[in-house]
Structure 1
Amino acid sequence: MPATSIDYYETLGVSRTADGATIKSAYRKLAMQHHPDRNPGCNESEGKFKAISEAYDCLKDPQKRAAYDQYGHERYTQAASGGGGGRGHPGGDFADLGDIFETIFGGFAGGGGRQQARRGADLRYNLEVTLVEAFHGAERQITIETSQVCETCEGDGAEPGTGLRTCNLCKGVGQVRAQQGFFMVERTCPNCHGRGQVIEKPCHSCGGEGRVDKPTTLDITIPKGVDTGTRIRLSGKGEAGPFGSAPGDLYIFLRVKDHKVFERDGSNLVTEVPISFTTAALGGCISIPNLDGETVSIDIPAGIQSGKQLRRRGAGMPVLQARGRGDLIAEIVVETPTKLSKEQKAILEQFRETETGDECPNSKGFFDRLKDAFAG
């Protein structure tokens, strides 16, 4: 199967907008189904398990996932493997892939030394808020399942009372060297995973991972003026780092739900306001209840037409992390009456008899243009 026909999202059966919890849940379900221990001797299940693990390794990490979404499967996997698609010349795609490789995997290492402990993975959580919450700001509480430091071994991964020994593959360095194309690169030791030490006896609570999955409840502060796509970062609230290293961050991605009355346009609020044809002809005043609880009054000039927008400055949405507010925009819709009394009809008939055509210049101009078009 060509690399371009593979899609990590399809492999895990999730949408491209799925959050971290959904991706993890899908991975666990598929991993249990296709794990080699559950399907001994089945090459198909073994292949699927490898594909599932490869997809999850990418999508669980926000940085890798962002690179995958931006560059696509083929270029991402070329960068991950250190290859340049067979291109031996400098610059071009080969240089671009090197940049991706450096961004995602830390680049081409040299100089030796134990690898710095890798921090925990960042997490993504999608949160919907109402337009009213976006206007006033809000406090929300969410519950997510994250990896937390194991209380039994305190993140060490070793059964209490036992110890660690130096890794015999990397000799305690945490990295191994390998030839990759034109370069000699250093990669994380597959035996100790960069730690430089291996566990003699794994902790019975976490199985040697140093982390356990637990539900966590967090309080989220939604500032005034947020919009769809606004990102809130909670430092240190992501996955616990391996073996006691620093935790990752949690990113809250907001989506503001549609409102029944107002449509948002940046920091402006737009609403359609129906008015009677008499108000449109004679002028008047309209009152609009706003999201702040106040009533906004807007004068209607005589002769206004449908589609005309009237603006009240400073009555729109708060501007995020700044002072001031956008505008409230009332889009006028002139409503033609459908039920008239005999008296009203008589009055309108009298009005029609007095019309000269100058009352509605657009209509007169339209029919004049029609006459000219057919006359010519």
Structure 2
Amino acid sequence: EAYEVLSDPEKRKKYDTLGADWKRYQQGGSGMGGFDWGGYAGAGRQQPGAGGAGTGGFGGGGDFSDFFESIFGGLGGANAGQQSRRQYTTGRPGKDITSPVDVTLREAFTGSKRIVTVEGERLEVNLPGGVRTGSKIRMSGKGGRGVGTGQRGDLFLEVNVLDDPVFRREGDDLMVHVPVDLYTAVLGGEMEVPTVEGKKLILTLPPGTSGGKKIRLRGKGMPRLKGGGAGDLLVEIDIHVPDKLSDEQRELFQRLRALG
């Protein structure tokens, strides 16, 4: 029947006007009396009025592709189109969006703000102190826009903490190497220890401090995202040996070596 209708323009025109029952109408003559319009009441057609006139074609309810849907079970483009219309009507949620963001170690320590643009919208994001590489900050309803009545997806900011030239991070602890002159290491004394936020701590070394010694300063590391508190700052001593010695210094060291 599909081939018969498609190959004959006249029959196709009749089908467009009368639907799948065009043959029965043709066999019953040109009058409207033998044709049952009741089956088309819900398909977008109107029954003829008192004057015997009715609407032609499929009205607002369909087009010629409905003919193939009735024969081939709604496969192909017609079914895909209906599914797309249903999704638009019922709504489809938007996609989640993941956006990378780089921060310095100091920003990760103190917390920072970032401006990001998603779907044409500028958003200000607060990054809490203590974030680390791989941390994700979630902003609900700030991702991709949904279809129809679907809600927006979520925005995830994935943090990458840049390497620092002075400090090395291990979990919530920080490591720093501090050079100490030979005389302070031998005799003891005060030394300055840098911190991530730019302050200086004064640390007193005991006499006879050896190179490589680690001193733990509790609570001076990175803030913890969960549970509160902070990690520790581990200070590793690097003893600085003078490159050049005066004659007097060399003589003093020789006397020390002799004293054993």
Q: TM-score of the superposition, structure 2-length normalised?
A: 0.62
Task: Report the Cα offset of residue 117 of structure 1.
Answer: 3.7
Secondary structure of the equivalent of 1:348?
Answer: helix
Q: Which residue of 2 aligns with 1:217?
A: 122
**Is the aligned partner of 1:329 residue 2:251?**
no
Residue 164 (structure 2) aligned to one of 250, 259, 277: 259
Q: Deviations over 1:79-129 (max 9, x none)?
A: xxxxxxxxxxxxxxxxxxxxxxxxxxxxxxxxxxx8864311101100001
Q: Deviations over 1:348-374 (max 9, x none)?
A: 11112222xxxxxxxxxxxxxxxxxxx
Distance (Å, rounded) in 1 between the aligned partners of 2:212 and 2:92: 58
What is the letter of the counterpart of residue 137 of structure 2? I
Distance (Å, rounded) in 1 between the aligned partners of 2:91 and 2:210: 67
8 Å CA contact 2:92–2:148 kept in 1: the answer is no
Distance (Å, rounded) in 1 between the aligned partners of 2:181 and 2:198: 25
Q: Which residue of 2 aligns with 1:350?
A: 255
Q: Which residue of 2 aligns with 1:280?
A: 185
Q: Which residue of 2 aligns with 1:227?
A: 132
**Is the aligned partner of 1:304 residue 2:200?**
no
> Can you give the 5+ residue segments of structure 1 that lack an aligned partner in the other structure?
1-113, 147-214, 356-376
Larger CA deviation: 120-129 vs 254-263: 254-263
Kindly tell me the number of residue pairs found equivalent between the two proteins.
Answer: 173
**Is the aligned partner of 1:247 residue 2:169?**
no
Secondary structure of the equivalent of 2:231?
Answer: coil
Secondary structure of the equivalent of 1:243?
Answer: coil
- Superposed counterparts of 1:60-139, under 5 Å: 117-139=91-113
Task: Report the Cα offset of residue 248 of structure 1.
Answer: 0.6
Task: Report the Cα offset of residue 244 of structure 1.
Answer: 3.0
8 Å CA contact 1:127–1:252 kept in 2: the answer is yes
- Superposed counterparts of 1:289-300, under 5 Å: 289-300=194-205
Distance (Å, rounded) in 1 between the aligned partners of 2:202 and 2:232: 13
**Is the aligned partner of 1:319 residue 2:224?**
yes
Task: Report the Cα offset of residue 293 of structure 1.
Answer: 4.3
> Can you give the 5+ residue segments of structure 2 that lack an aligned partner in the other structure?
1-85
Secondary structure of the equivalent of 1:239?
Answer: coil
8 Å CA contact 2:98–2:155 kept in 1: the answer is yes
Distance (Å, rounded) in 2 between the aligned partners of 1:310 and 1:285: 13
8 Å CA contact 2:92–2:149 kept in 1: the answer is no
Secondary structure of the equivalent of 2:148?
Answer: helix
Task: Report the Cα offset of residue 292 of structure 1.
Answer: 3.4
8 Å CA contact 1:268–1:326 kept in 2: the answer is yes
Residue 140 (structure 1) aligned to one of 114, 120, 138: 114
Distance (Å, rounded) in 2 between the aligned partners of 1:255 and 1:307: 30
For the aligned residue pairs, the C-alpha RMSD in angstroms reads: 1.8
Distance (Å, rounded) in 2 between the aligned partners of 1:350 and 1:250: 70
Q: TM-score of the superposition, structure 1-length normalised?
A: 0.44
- % identical aligned pairs: 40
8 Å CA contact 1:307–1:331 kept in 2: the answer is yes
Q: Which residue of 2 aligns with 1:153?
A: none
Task: Report the Cα offset of residue 318 of structure 1.
Answer: 1.2
Rg bigger for which structure? 2
Distance (Å, rounded) in 2 between the aligned partners of 1:310 and 1:118: 57
Distance (Å, rounded) in 1 between the aligned partners of 2:181 and 2:242: 8
